[in-house]
Structure 1
Amino acid sequence: MQVITTREPSWIEPFTGLSPAQFRKLVRTVAVRGGVEIADGRPGRQWSLELADRVLLVAAYWRTNLTMRQIGPLFGVSHSAAHRVIDSVGPLLALAPVRRRRTDQIAIVDGTLVPLRDHRLAAPSKNYRYSANLQVAIDADTRLVIALGQPQPGNHNDCTAYRDSGINHTLAGRPVIADGGYRGNPEVIMPFRKPGKDQELPGWKTAMNTSHKRVRARVEHALARLKCWKILRDYRRAASTLEHTASGIAYLHNIALSH
């Protein structure tokens, strides 16, 4: 028996953060990207779940981080079918690249550590866990996620992860704000450092740092909202799927924030 279904709209918002109307638009987007054309890999056998329920299953899995054996029965399917749904539908939720942007758009970038079970990518990091460093950039005005970097090992600091993840190329040509951990990237706007031990900054630089900190806090708030999706607090899947998962969560975050 299926417990969670889109036929009962009260299930939609807790697992997706979207209103039923926003969720219907999301399902149409997934359909346009090819979601309705995908069978479950076996000739002649189609999905037992309709497309909307498959999208909801993926969102519920990301939101709760339940195991496959737990999430499957909630949707009335086997754990192997739930696994196939996540593998096929998850990448279709990826954040769409921005086709146009304002010439005055300012980006704020920061990295967050995602605990990862797959040690092919994960490395011991400052949170004392095997993690991956995920670089996230938002628009300073709208607070929407505009770019994600390729996940890097958690022992890579932000200044190198910014370059190695490729997010620096995505953000090229626009002002980028970041904290003091991005030294070595001259195109990034960072706070002023004290000139030396026991030496204070001039008043105008202190005021600039205060303003810089207030603006930079917006990316911290965005990271906190993304981490409401519990899968980013303990990622048990293969490391190769983390980029698609984070991108899909960012897309859901943007839809909820922009409508």
Structure 2
Amino acid sequence: MDSPFSGLSSRQFGKLIIALRSEGADPVRKGRPWSLPLEDRVLLVAAYWRTNLTLRQLAPLFGVSKSVADRIIDHLGPSLALQQRKRFRKDTVLIVDGTLPPTRDHSVAEESKNYRYSTNHQVVIDADTRLVVAVGRPLPGNRNDCKAWGLSGAKAAVGRATVIADGGYRGTGLVIPHRREKGQAELPAWKEEDNTSHRKVRARVEHAFARMKTWKILRDCRLKGDGVHHAMLGIARLHNLTLAG
């Protein structure tokens, strides 16, 4: 039952549980213990992120109350967060882009170019492995990518690594496509070839977004406060585990 919701094979799911226990996600609690074992709690969180069912709909599937399901998500969601990479090889090439998950908590979201209240998440992937290596903190969806790159912490997370981006990151020092100068009718052939190569490589981050957005919570997030950030980081970790095989 774990694969449809977590996207992981039974072997991968088992490795995740072992890793979570080693990270302290299942400590001995004082007082009343959890009504579900860690495996089922992880599955509950994954099912919530994957289906975006309301807690009133989801809780009976696991035989718990709505309030228990809510506490499990609040407690375990942060524990599933991606451990962002801190060091990169000198020849590492990364790709960054922003995505705008619609978010109902208007205290952290703003109306964006998709005409919905959204949060801007800067997501960085490794161009070779296509694994997510960093996710910036969410900013209001009306922040453009060139500002969100620095303000979200994504820039600091990747240090001096080479980063490819689209034309929305002008002035950031990232590798972006060539643009025509004022009065220039067309680009030289070598620049057009560079841009073609750039588009093919940069498309990999769009493919990562497409896979991550199979998790329906990123299409309409009802979580408040840091909930959307925890969901994005958790989904990034599960996405990486799926790719790693």
Question: What TM-score does the superposition give when structure 2 sets the normalisation length?
Answer: 0.97
Separation in 2, partners of 1:198, 1:168 = 32
| 1:32 matched residue in structure 2 | 22
| 1:167 matched residue in structure 2 | 154
Q: How does 1:23-62 map to 2 (within 5 A)?
A: 23-37=13-27, 39=29, 44-62=31-49
- CA shift for structure 1 position 100: 4.5
Contact 1:140–1:215 under 8 Å retained in 2? yes
How far does the alpha carbon of each residue in 1:224-252 deviate from its partner, in whole angstroms, 9 at most, with x for none?
A: 11111110110101132222211110000
Separation in 1, partners of 2:91, 2:152 = 24
Is residue 9 of structure 2 the alignment partner of residue 19 of structure 1? yes
Contact 2:86–2:157 under 8 Å retained in 1? no
Separation in 2, partners of 1:44, 1:179 = 52
Separation in 2, partners of 1:240, 1:85 = 15
Query: Secondary structure of the equivalent of 2:82?
Result: coil
- Structural RMSD (CA): 1.2
Separation in 2, partners of 1:176, 1:142 = 14
Contact 2:96–2:123 under 8 Å retained in 1? yes
How far does the alpha carbon of each residue in 1:108-146 deviate from its partner, in whole angstroms, 9 at most, with x for none?
A: 000000101111111011101011001000000000000
Query: Secondary structure of the equivalent of 1:37?
Result: coil
Separation in 1, partners of 2:104, 2:233 = 19
Q: How does 1:200-211 map to 2 (within 5 A)?
A: 200-211=186-197
How far does the alpha carbon of each residue in 1:35-63 deviate from its partner, in whole angstroms, 9 at most, with x for none?
A: 22164xxx521111111000110001000
Contact 2:125–2:133 under 8 Å retained in 1? yes
Separation in 1, partners of 2:84, 2:176 = 26
Question: What TM-score does the superposition give when structure 1 sets the normalisation length?
Answer: 0.92
Is residue 201 of structure 2 the alignment partner of residue 191 of structure 1? no
- CA shift for structure 1 position 33: 1.8
Query: Secondary structure of the equivalent of 1:160?
Result: helix
Query: Secondary structure of the equivalent of 1:131?
Result: strand
Which sections of structure 2, spanning at least 5 residues, go unmatched?
none
Q: Match of 2:227, as an amino acid?
A: T
Contact 1:113–1:134 under 8 Å retained in 2? yes
Q: Match of 1:26, as an amino acid?
A: L
Q: Match of 1:82, as an amino acid?
A: A
| 1:7 matched residue in structure 2 | none
| 1:84 matched residue in structure 2 | 71
| 2:50 matched residue in structure 1 | 63
Tell me which of 224, 227, 235 is aligned to 2:210: 224
Number of equivalences: 245
Q: Match of 1:253, as an amino acid?
A: H
Which sections of structure 1, spanning at least 5 residues, go unmatched?
1-10
Contact 2:120–2:140 under 8 Å retained in 1? yes
Separation in 2, partners of 1:123, 1:197 = 37
| 1:238 matched residue in structure 2 | 224
How far does the alpha carbon of each residue in 1:57-90 deviate from its partner, in whole angstroms, 9 at most, with x for none?
A: 0001000011111110000000100001111111
Is residue 179 of structure 2 the alignment partner of residue 214 of structure 1? no
Q: Match of 1:239, as an amino acid?
A: G
| 1:5 matched residue in structure 2 | none
